[in-house]
Amino acid sequence: MILEGLYPFYDEKIRDICGIKLYLDVDEDIRYTRRIKRDLKERSITREENQIMIDTFVKKMHTKYVTQQKSMADKVFQSCEEILSLL
């Protein structure tokens, strides 16, 4: 089973049942570009509105909750290409 998302290792019970924990450390510019494109298309949130959310909330929450999961992973990848090279 593959479990993916923003908080896959946040709950200790979930971490304990994972055979191997992988973390994809995506560059900040890529993450925010993807978010803005998604929100424009799916949520009708403008680029300007999104930038305000990113600057006032999203970056702080990413640091507080998402980044800390990197230390819980068995392996940290810096790019999708790095993962694909293993296949």
pLDDT tens, residue by residue, 68-81:
899 999 999 988 78
Instruction: Round to whole Å and give the CA distance between 47 and 60.
Output: 19
**Residue-number span of the structural domain to which 64 is assigned:** 12-84
Would residue 5 count as lying in a domain? no
List all residues 6 or more positions away from 21 whose beta carbon is below 8 Å from its beta carbon.
Answer: 8, 9, 15, 72, 73, 74, 75
The pLDDT of residue 84 is 81
Would residue 21 count as lying in a domain? yes
Domain count along the chain: 1
Would residue 53 count as lying in a domain? yes
Instruction: With cut-offs at 50, 70 and 90, classify the pLDDT of residue 2.
Output: confident
pLDDT higher than 90, residue 32: yes
Instruction: With cut-offs at 50, 70 and 90, classify the pLDDT of residue 54.
Output: very high
27 vs 86, which has greater pLDDT? 27
Cβ-contact 3, 14 below 8 angstroms: yes
Q: Supply 19's token pair.
A: 């055979």
Would residue 37 count as lying in a domain? yes
Instruction: With cut-offs at 50, 70 and 90, classify the pLDDT of residue 86.
Output: confident
In 3-state terms, the chain is what percent helix, strand and coil (to 5)? 60, 5, 35
